Structure 1
């Protein structure tokens, strides 16, 4: 069993699965080094989309 982190990432959505225990395994093993822990400002969801766009342009 595991959490489909790539499913969230490919949709440009923050991972909000309640089963996540923040063990960092996905962040450490990400081959593209694009996963990280952080907060999403629910009042400004476009901020996340902007950051994802910048990461994809690298």
Structure 2
């Protein structure tokens, strides 16, 4: 604890955290598990971009 005291105090004073980075990492890991059977990495990268960028793709037949 003493080794990281300065970093802990700086984090508390600034109010910053790595929560957003961890959220995106979790989304990417989940997407990789879902896309396990994809035939190409391009399809996987496209799926990650769609999920992490928050792009809303309208589905056919849905209002």
- Normalised-by-shorter TM-score class: 0.3 to 0.5
Higher radius of gyration, 1 or 2: 2
**TM-score, normalising length: structure 1:** 0.32
More helix by share: 2
